[in-house]
Amino acid sequence: MALDPAYLEYPRRRHGYDHDLYPWSALHQRPPVAWPGGKGVAVWLCVSLEWFPILPQDAPFRAPGHMQTAYPDYRHYTAREYGTRIGMYRLLDACAKAGVRMSVATNGAIAERYPQLVREIVEAGHEIIAHSTDMNGTIASGLPIEEERALIAASLDALQAVTGTRPAGWLSIARSQSWNTVNLLEEAGLSYCCDWVNDELPWRFANGLINLPLNHELSDRQVITVQQQSVDSYARQIEDACDWLAGEARSHGGRMLPIHLTPYISALPYRIDAIDALLARLAARQDTWFATGGEIAACWAGQVSA
């Protein structure tokens, strides 16, 4: 039987995407971006500082890194708590030694439970990015819009109450969004999100919200925990990426290198020395600009109109 010709008709078939969330743009076709001081690579260190309730929720999904055994899962709960008790302080020391600043994507519950730690992060000159309420605060399609709006507001309110400043950036748990998230983030007054990983430079949604891609493949969770590679291999991969991006930058304009770390993974005593040394080597390069997510987004937005 012949196929109905209408079967092959798709009214949104066109050059680029079949949606209007953001325009199609190939990296090599864009005007070059210049980072401050003529640096080729903007290095963005983003740390996820998270609070996992001991009783996980599986709706709409269980967050990566959450509790895994029967309640009460003391093993994983206390392993995650290591990040707030020890790991985050080691990363603060590493940044201080290297003379670099980072973005810390943290839950509202961290501000409520560990306000002194959040204040110390801010006092050291680092940026706070909103990272939901806690690690049960996941987002996906099917979450009622009013619940999602309230979740975003609660996260921002809790962080502002401790820091005195409302965060400009947002990182969803597992980078997961609903159909409503982009508009709700813009409505809440956020400048950028870090959830869409399809690029190595910032880009803008149609509603004006900037996306700052936080590459999952360059995260310690993916390389060290999931792929079970050593921290030395992880550091080598980060430097390989920096070398490649610096080469592209010499002929095509500035590039961005995101480094996504987790305190209870990378700040263990047998890993932190490699992270320490990695940050020092990257900071010593003549072609790198260490910057917070907000600084990178603002610098890019000042040069690109769309």
**How far is it, in rounded angstroms, from Cα 211 to Cα 199?**
9
Contact 124, 110 (CB under 8 A): no
**How far is it, in rounded angstroms, from Cα 295 to Cα 251?**
23
Contact 68, 249 (CB under 8 A): no
Structure tokens at 255: 């590039």
Confidence of residue 170 (pLDDT cuts 50, 70, 90): very high
* Structural domains present in the chain: 36-54+65-301 (3.20.20.370)
Q: What is the pLDDT of residues 91-120, one digit of tens each?
A: 999 999 999 999 999 999 999 999 999 999
**Cα–chain-centroid distance for residue 82?**
21
pTM for this entry:
0.95
Mean pLDDT of 4-12: 84
What does residue 31 show for φ and ψ, rounded to 5 degrees? -60, 145
Mean pLDDT of the chain: 96
Higher pLDDT, residue 2 or 178: 178
Q: What is the pLDDT of residues 231-256, one digit of tens each?
A: 999 999 999 999 999 999 999 999 99
Check whether 187 has a pLDDT greater than 70: yes
pLDDT at 286: 98
CB-facing half-sphere around the CA of 300: CA atoms within 13 A: 27
